[in-house]
Structure formats: structure tokens, C-alpha cells
Amino acid sequence: MSNGTKVIKRSGEIESLDLDKMHIMVEEACKNLAGVSASQVEMKSGIQFYDGITTAEIQEILIRSASDLIDLDHPNYQYVAARLLLFSVRKQLYGKMMELPHLEEHIYYCVNQEVYDSDIFNKYSKEEIDTAILLFVTIEITYSLMLDFAKLLISTSFKIGVVVEYMKPHSLCT
């Protein structure tokens, strides 16, 4: 569904705003979580769409919206915010929101970007490369996620009591 507004994608392409994409993403972030509502996240965001808004801006607004809904009665919004943030990190790293690239695609990408030397194929077996890449991808995503989430926590007005409460082991987190 579009209202004629144009958005700028991360690739620089311009396309019509598709609200269904946003709904699907937020619903996916809320999937299998008790006490959360995708429509509540969208309403809380109060996004004012305008021509030229970027998809990254929309994503950031939705992440902040979900994090603003976190309180002692609704702790699962922390997972909604984290999932939305993870979708954003994956999109930045791989151009896809949901699935990660196959390990072979990733290593060829890294060789093309000169992150790895092409001689890597001669020095290591496919199994060794797959294991190393899986570890690298996990660390890369975790590190990016931690940095972005730390920025989000700092920039969002959390109540100190709520943050302290979430630092304690929580029955919903185990």
C-alpha cells in the first residue's frame, strides 16, 4: 500500500513508500512474544512520512518506538527493539533483513572487498573457512548490534529503575 510518498532506500534507489513492508517487518519483530503489539509500535512511532525519507530513518524511528514502550509491565518490547535493530544491522551488512548470506557468498564478498587475501582458498579447507567465517559473521553482527544498542540506550530516555530492573535476571529472559 502506497500513498504516493517516495522513500530513499539504503542503495540510493528511490521508490514509492510501501507501508505493507513496514507492517510485515514490525509484525515479524513481534512474532511469538507475549504482551507486545505491532500496531502499538507503529502508533507510538508517529512517523511523519515525507518525500525523501530514508528507509534507515524509518527503521530507526521504529526501533526507538519499540524501546520507548519498554517498561516493567511490558518487558518484551526490549526484544522487539533488539529484533528491529538486528534487521537494520543485517540490512546494512548484507543488504537483506532476514536471512544471512551463505558462507561461500560471504567469503567471496570479503575477498572481492580485499578483507581477505584470495590465497585463503589455497591455505585452508572449505570446512576450516566455513567455521572461521561463521565465527567472524557472528562476532561482526554481535559487535555492531552491541554498539547500535548502546547508542540507542544512551539516546533514549530510559528511567534508571527500568534499566536496573532489566539488568537483573528476569524470568521472561530465561
Strands 6-8 and 14-16: antiparallel
SS3 state at 74: strand
Residue 126: domain span: 6-173
Count of structural domains, the chain: 1
Q: pLDDT of 57-110, one tens digit each?
A: 998 899 989 989 998 899 889 889 888 888 887 777 766 555 555 556 666 777
Q: Is residue 90 part of a domain?
A: yes
Q: Is residue 1 part of a domain?
A: no
pLDDT at 117 over 90: no
Residue, of 112 and 23, whose pLDDT is higher: 23
Q: Is residue 26 part of a domain?
A: yes
Q: Is residue 116 part of a domain?
A: yes
Q: Is residue 85 part of a domain?
A: yes
Q: Is residue 41 part of a domain?
A: yes
pLDDT at 165 over 70: no
Cα–Cα distance between 6 and 168 in angstroms, integer? Answer: 44
Q: Is residue 138 part of a domain?
A: yes
pTM above 0.85, yes or no: no
Q: Is residue 157 part of a domain?
A: yes
Which pLDDT belongs to residue 26? Answer: 93
Which pLDDT belongs to residue 3? Answer: 62
Which pLDDT belongs to residue 92? Answer: 75
pLDDT at 172 over 50: no
Residue, of 121 and 162, whose pLDDT is higher: 121
Which pLDDT belongs to residue 143? Answer: 59
> Which residues are CB-contacts of 122 (< 8 A; sequence separation ≥ 6)?
none
Q: pLDDT of 131-151, one tens digit each?
A: 766 666 666 556 556 666 665
